[in-house]
Structure formats: structure tokens, C-alpha cells
């Protein structure tokens, strides 16, 4: 009788323990997934933001690439500009998607420049938005040739 009591007691004690272990396993699995998603999301987001930083904050290499040789780095800032975010209209027109693909190895790329009233100034793209399952984007602000305020959107997808 004592032995039986002991066994039943042990079994009852094991039930919550088993539940706790099960829930813990699910929780850790969920957390691992979230951390993975976090890293995945920030990796893509940071890439897009960094590339947009290069475009918005440097004149490129060489700085007169729109009139000389194709750029090693395609910055869009007016050559000799006193500050960042002052984009050159001529460089925007000269930009094409093949200059972005070395920096953005994604099947879908879209760079759009709009005035603050919503008028499209320039669009450079590759692939289609519908052909990718996830899209990451970043938005920056500046002016064209120091006068027209614009919104710059860069999206990539994989």
C-alpha cells in the first residue's frame, strides 16, 4: 500500500513538471524564433538604411561621376555642397539600377524620389514588388539642388 501511494504521489508530481517542461520548450523555441526574426529584420533594414545614407550624404566616388566615369560609390549629393541631404538633379537623372546592385544584392530594388507634394521626380527599379515575400524599406528627406524639398524611398525585397 505504501509503495502504491508513493508511486501515485510521484505520478501526480510529475504532471505539472512535465507541463512546465513542455511550455518551457515551446517558450524557448518561440524566443529563439523571435531573436532570429529580429536579427534578420535588422540586417536587411540596416543594409537599406546604410545604402540610403551613402546616397544622401556623399557626392560619390568620383564626386563628378555623373559627368565623368561610372561611380565606384554612387552618392547623390551636389559636388561641393556645404551640407548633406542636398541632392543633385543631374546625378539623380544619371543614376541607374546597375549602380545600386553591387550594394544591394536583392532581387527587388526600388528607389523613388518624390517632392513633398507627391510628384515623382525619379524612379530607379529592378524586379517587381509582387515577386518577393518580404520587403524592407527606409525613407529619407532632403532637397534637390538646395531648393525643392523631397522624400527619398528605398525598398528592397527577397
Partner 1 sequence: MKAFVFTMDAVLAIIPVIVVIAALSQGGILSHSNELQGKLMDKYRKASDVLETIYASGAVDELNQTRMESLLNALLAGNNYSYTIHQGTKEVVRIERGNLSEAKDVVVARKPALTYISRVLNWTNELCYEDRGRGWQIYTMSFNTSDISLYDYWFVAELTGANVLTSNGDAVGTYLDYRTCEEIVPSSPTLPGEGDSLCEGDYWYVDDPSYPTVCKAKFYFGDWNPPGAPASWQSYTTYYTYIRLPGNRAGTFYIIQVPAGTPPEDVVPQIPPVKQKVIMTLKVWEEE
Minimum Å gap between C-beta 69 and partner 1 is 26
Distance from chain centroid for Cα 22? 36
Sheet architecture: strand order including 135-144: 86-87, 135-144, 148-157, 108-115, 120-126
Residue number, 84 or 103, with CB nearest to partner 1: 84
Residue number, 68 or 147, with CB nearest to partner 1: 147
Give SS3 for 156: strand
Taking the CA atoms of 38, 135, 93 and 115 in sequence, report the sign of the dihedral they define: negative
Query: For binding to partner 1 (CB under 8 A), which residues are involved?
Result: 5-6, 9, 12-13, 16-17, 19-20, 23-24, 26-27, 30-31, 33-35, 37-38, 41, 45, 49, 56-57, 81-86, 116, 138-143, 146-147, 149, 151
Residue number, 57 or 97, with CB nearest to partner 1: 57
The Cα–Cα gap between 142 and 77 comes to: 10
Residue number, 53 or 64, with CB nearest to partner 1: 53
Minimum Å gap between C-beta 103 and partner 1 is 18
Tell me the three cell numbers of residue 102.
Answer: 553591387
Minimum Å gap between C-beta 133 and partner 1 is 18
Residue number, 95 or 144, with CB nearest to partner 1: 144
Minimum Å gap between C-beta 151 and partner 1 is 8
The Cα–Cα gap between 151 and 158 comes to: 24
**Cα–Cα distance list, 5 to 2, 12, 14, 98 (Å):** 5, 11, 14, 77
Minimum Å gap between C-beta 49 and partner 1 is 7
Amino acid at each position: 500500500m505504501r509503495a502504491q501511494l508513493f508511486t501515485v504521489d510521484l505520478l501526480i508530481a510529475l504532471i505539472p513538471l512535465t507541463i512546465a517542461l513542455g511550455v518551457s520548450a515551446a517558450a524557448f523555441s518561440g524566443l529563439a524564433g523571435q531573436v532570429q526574426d529580429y536579427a534578420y529584420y535588422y540586417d536587411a533594414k540596416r543594409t537599406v538604411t546604410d545604402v540610403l545614407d551613402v546616397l544622401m550624404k556623399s557626392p560619390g566616388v568620383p564626386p563628378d561621376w555623373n559627368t565623368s566615369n561610372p561611380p565606384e560609390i554612387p552618392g547623390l549629393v551636389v559636388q561641393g555642397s556645404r551640407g548633406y541631404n542636398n541632392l543633385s538633379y543631374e546625378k539623380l537623372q544619371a543614376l541607374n539600377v546597375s549602380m545600386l546592385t553591387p550594394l544591394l544584392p536583392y532581387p527587388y530594388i526600388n528607389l523613388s524620389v518624390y517632392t513633398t507634394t507627391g510628384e515623382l521626380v525619379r524612379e530607379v527599379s529592378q524586379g517587381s514588388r509582387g515577386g518577393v515575400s518580404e520587403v524592407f524599406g527606409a525613407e529619407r528627406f532632403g532637397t534637390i539642388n538646395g531648393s525643392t524639398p523631397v522624400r527619398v524611398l528605398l525598398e528592397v525585397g527577397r
